[in-house]
Amino acid sequence: MNHRQRVGLIFPAHDRTAWITAQRSARPSILDPFKPHGFFLEEERAASGQVVSSATILLTNKECPWRCLMCDLWKNTTAQTVPHGAIPRQIDYALSQLRARPKQIKLYNSGSFFDSAAIPPADFPAIARTVAFAKHVVVESHPRLVGGEVLRFRDLLADSLEVAMGLETVHPQVLPRLNKKFELAHFSQAAGFLRDNGIAVRAFVLVKPPFLNEAEGLEWAVKSAEFALSCGATVVSLIPTRPGNGALERLMATGEFSPPRLATLEKALELALEVRGDGRIFADTWDLEQFSRCPICFEKRRQRIHAMNLSQRIPPAIDCLVCGSKTN
C-alpha cells in the first residue's frame, strides 16, 4: 500500500475535530485542582553542556482547546478553569514532595501555559515566585499562543525561560491531518519571536505519526528535527507516537497507524544527533518498553538512548544475538 492509499482510509478529510473527539472514552478521573497530576526528577543536559537536575511538574488545569489526532493529554485535565491560586499551590506541593530545588524546572500543563483558561494569567507572579530558585524554567505552548504574555511571564522570572512547542512533523500531508491547526510558518514565526526576545525554543517532534510507515517515520522525524533547528530551536525532543486516546486505536485497527519500533526511535536519535549543530536532541524514554520487541536487549538499548541524551554522542550500536540484528 503506498502512502497516498494509506492516507484517509478511515480518517475524514473534514470535521476531523468531531471524529477525533468521538473516539474518546470518558474522562478517566476527577482531578484535585490543588494538586499536580504528576511530578518527577530527572537529569538533562543543559545548554552549558552540564548535566543538571530537572523537575517536571505536570500541572492540573483546564483542557487544551485543540483536538490533535495523537493527543491523550486531555485525560489529565479538568473541564473548568482551576481557581485562582491553584497553580502556584500545585507547584509548591510538588516541590515539597520532591524535596529538591533543581536547576531546571518544567511546568507542563497538558496544553499551553499561555492559554488563559488553563493557567490564569493573574497567577503568573505567584508562579514565578515559587520557581525563583530555578536557573531555567520550561513551559509549553501551541505556536499560535506565543505572544506578549510570554514576555510578561519572562519578565517575572528570576532567570531564563524556554518555551516548548509541538512541531510534531513537517510532512506536508500528515501535519494538517494531525489537526494541530497551524502551518510551518506559524511555528517558524513563533520560534523567531521567542529567539528575538531571548527565550529558548524547544520542539517536540513525533517519531512515526499516523499515516507513515517505519522508514517514512524515521525519515520525517529527522527532517522535522532539522526544520526545528533551522528555526532556532536549541532542543528537539523526539517523541515516539503512543496510542491511548481512542483515535489512534481506531487508526491502528484500519492499518493507518502503528507505534514506532524502538529501533526507529534509536535511529532517529542517532541521525538527528549527526545534524544537531549546537542544538541538543533528546529521545523521550517514558514507558519505552512498549516499543521494544526483544526483552533481551531492551534494557541495553534504553541505557544507550539515555546515554545519547546526556552525552549527545553516538555510542557503538548494540548487537543482539537473540533478535539477530543491531536493531530491534
Nearer to Zn ion by Cβ, of 74 and 298: the residue is: 298
Nearer to ligand SF4 by Cβ, of 110 and 224: the residue is: 110
Q: How many whole angstroms from its chain centre is CA 266?
A: 17
Find the helix or strand (DSSP H, E) in which 137 lies: strand 136-140
Question: Exactly one of 111, 210, 243, 260 binds ligand SF4 (CB under 6 A); which one?
Answer: 111
Q: How far is the CB of 326 from Zn ion (least distance, A)?
A: 9
73 makes contact with ligand SF4 (CB under 6 A): yes
295 makes contact with Zn ion (CB under 5 A): no
The percent helix, strand, coil of the chain (3-state, each to 5) is 35, 15, 45
DSSP state of 38: E
Q: How far is the CB of 19 from ligand SF4 (least distance, A)?
A: 14
Distance CA 159, CA 214 (A): 41
Q: How far is the CB of 211 from ligand SF4 (least distance, A)?
A: 16
CA proximity to 39, closest of 54, 53, 56, 52: 56
Distance CA 50, CA 83 (A): 38
292 makes contact with Zn ion (CB under 5 A): no
Q: Between the CA of residue 303 and those of 241, 273, 289, 323, 327, what are the distances in Å?
A: 20, 16, 12, 18, 14
Nearer to ligand SF4 by Cβ, of 56 and 328: the residue is: 56
Nearer to ligand SF4 by Cβ, of 245 and 292: the residue is: 245
Nearer to ligand SF4 by Cβ, of 199 and 239: the residue is: 239
Of 63-71, 229-237, 248-256, 300-308, which part binds ligand SF4 (CB under 6 A)? 63-71
Residue 166 binds which entry of Zn ion, ligand SF4, none, CB below 5-8 Å type-dependent: ligand SF4
Distance CA 191, CA 163 (A): 9
State the binding string over 87-116 for Zn ion (x if CB under 5 A, else -). ------------------------------
Residue 64 binds which entry of Zn ion, ligand SF4, none, CB below 5-8 Å type-dependent: ligand SF4
Question: Exactly one of 8, 296, 299, 303 binds Zn ion (CB under 5 A); which one?
Answer: 296
* Residue at grid coordinates 517505519: 214
297 makes contact with Zn ion (CB under 5 A): yes
Nearer to ligand SF4 by Cβ, of 287 and 289: the residue is: 287
Question: Exactly one of 120, 166, 243, 259 binds ligand SF4 (CB under 6 A); which one?
Answer: 166
At residue 222, φ and ψ (nearest 5 deg) are -70, -45
Nearer to Zn ion by Cβ, of 35 and 306: the residue is: 306
Q: What is the DSSP string of 183-251?
A: -HHHHHHHHHHHHHTT-EEEEEEEES-TT--HHHHHHHHHHHHHHHHHTT-SEEEEEE----SSHHHHH
328 makes contact with Zn ion (CB under 5 A): yes
**Strand 51-58 relative to strand 38-45, pairing:** antiparallel
Residues that bind ligand SF4 (CB under 6 A): 64, 66-68, 71, 73, 110-111, 142, 166
